[in-house]
Amino acid sequence: MTGGTGAVPLVDLAAAHTEVAAEVRAGFERVLARGGFVKGPEVAAFEREYADFTGTRHCVGAANGTDALELALRALDLPPGGGVVLPANTFVATAEAVLRAGLHPVLVDADPAHLLIDPARAADALPGAVALLPVHLNGQLAPMGPLLELADGRPVVEDAAQSQGARQHGRGAYGRIAATSFYPGKNLGAYGDAGAVLTDDPGLADAVRLIGDHGAREKYTHERVGLNSRMDALQAVVLRAKLRRLPAWNAARRAAAACYDALLGDVDGLTLPRTAPGNEHVWHLYAVRIDPGRDRDAVLAALHAAGIGAGVHYPVPVHLQPAFRFLGHREGAFPTAERAARELLTLPLYPQMTVAQQERVAEVLMKALRGAHG
């Protein structure tokens, strides 16, 4: 694909598949010949490899990222109904997992510069809460130093669904326990649903494994009420093949982000995403802000009309979702999260993207901005 008039998708999963196709086929054949489709040796090997990759002692596979968050929270055995502090500007799954774990979501606003949970707002909400759940949004870690200090011994559970391979001050894992998602579009994506929990604590890892497999260590002896959330062998094959490419793919994402920074640095009406101090970003999403003087949705429509697969992550913050109205927050409750929902626009970015494709996106975006005075 070259510049000119070409269409550019938001992500290109087929291009990623091409790189791993031979390994995935061979792995699928291994699993098909052996016949074990849930957990098993491929999953155990992936768990080991992903634990090593993240610098964490234990990795436990799960059926998806939302379950992984729920399992992490349930493993902590927090007091039922206890408050868990999380940002209002996240994918709804973060808040769902809190409720499904029998806990109460306590939403707080983000810091306007990086759109990560604001430690000052978290500090206001923490008294009375039992845990802190930062989200490593768009591919960079929330400010873990200040958050751990604030938590003051309360467990910090990380939503690491968007931050595979991201580091802060050279470290990848910080809190008591973290959960990630291998949904196909994530930096490390399966061919279906999968997720994992990461922790250094062997007791917590054991609890996650137990709860995620019907509370049973041995078949038909159920120590506690759990759920069915295990990783499939076929997904582990895909994840093992892709994990080997992830460092190179994340480097390619960083190069693509730098290319957008250069192409779009001086454009009127646009604010580019920023990397917080100490962070090595993995650019799960490259989301620009369309300044309030322009009509973001008109810009988005113009991009779509030109075949550019831009998106919005996320158009409605958690507190304004119908399902979460019961929390009792009105419009205006979290101004930064609401502003982000109105102004953000995610540009196409994936490891195999070419400079010509990025130039095409930039060209269409600049033209759209000129025509979108709101």
Ligand X SMILES: *Cc1c(COP(=O)(O)O)cnc(C)c1O
Q: Which residues bind ligand X (CB under 6 A)?
A: 64-66, 90-91, 93-94, 135, 159, 161-162, 181, 183, 193, 195
Q: How far is the CB of 341 from ligand X (least distance, A)?
A: 15
Among residues 108, 98, 172, the alpha carbon closest in space to that of 140 is found at: 172
Q: Which is nearer to ligand X, 56 or 187 (CB)?
A: 187
Q: Which is nearer to ligand X, 163 or 357 (CB)?
A: 163
Our measurement of the distance from residue 60's CA atom to the centroid of its chain's CA atoms, rounded to an integer in Å, reads 17
Among residues 31, 1, 32, 102, the alpha carbon closest in space to that of 353 is found at: 1
Report d(CA 7, CA 5) in Å as an integer. Answer: 7
Residue 274 contacts by C-beta under 8 Å, 6 or more apart in sequence? 113, 114
Among residues 224, 236, 143, 168, the alpha carbon closest in space to that of 196 is found at: 236
Residue 26 contacts by C-beta under 8 Å, 6 or more apart in sequence? none
One DSSP character per residue, 308-343 reads B--B-S-SS-GGGSGGGGGG-PPTTSSHHHHHHHHH
Q: Which residue is nearest to ligand X (CB)?
A: 65
Q: How far is the CB of 293 from ligand X (least distance, A)?
A: 30
Q: How far is the CB of 6 from ligand X (least distance, A)?
A: 28
Q: Which is nearer to ligand X, 65 or 172 (CB)?
A: 65
For residue 317, with 0-12 CB atoms within 10 Å meaning exposed, 13-18 middle and 19 or more buried, which class applies?
buried
Phi, psi of 106, deg, nearest 5: -115, 105
Q: Are 78 and 103 within 8 A, CB to CB?
A: yes
In a 13 Å sphere around the CA of 360, the CA atoms on its Cβ side amount to: 23
Q: Which is nearer to ligand X, 347 or 365 (CB)?
A: 347
Q: How far is the CB of 354 from ligand X (least distance, A)?
A: 26
Q: How far is the CB of 22 from ligand X (least distance, A)?
A: 26
Q: Which is nearer to ligand X, 59 or 299 (CB)?
A: 59
Q: Which is nearer to ligand X, 90 or 279 (CB)?
A: 90
Q: Which is nearer to ligand X, 71 or 93 (CB)?
A: 93
Residue 194 contacts by C-beta under 8 Å, 6 or more apart in sequence? 61, 62, 63, 64, 181, 182, 183, 231, 232, 235, 236, 239
Q: How far is the CB of 286 from ligand X (least distance, A)?
A: 15
For residue 90, with 0-12 CB atoms within 10 Å meaning exposed, 13-18 middle and 19 or more buried, which class applies?
buried
| Strand blocks (E) in the chain | 58-62, 83-87, 104-108, 129-132, 157-159, 167-168, 177-181, 195-199, 216-218, 221-222, 270-271, 279-280, 286-290, 344-347
Q: How far is the CB of 204 from ligand X (least distance, A)?
A: 19
Q: Which is nearer to ligand X, 159 or 213 (CB)?
A: 159
Q: Which is nearer to ligand X, 192 or 215 (CB)?
A: 192
Q: How far is the CB of 161 from ligand X (least distance, A)?
A: 3
Q: How far is the CB of 66 from ligand X (least distance, A)?
A: 3
Q: Which is nearer to ligand X, 116 or 125 (CB)?
A: 116
Q: How far is the CB of 136 from ligand X (least distance, A)?
A: 8
Taking the C-alpha atoms of 319, 321, 327 and 330 in order, what is their torsion angle to the nearest 10 degrees? 60
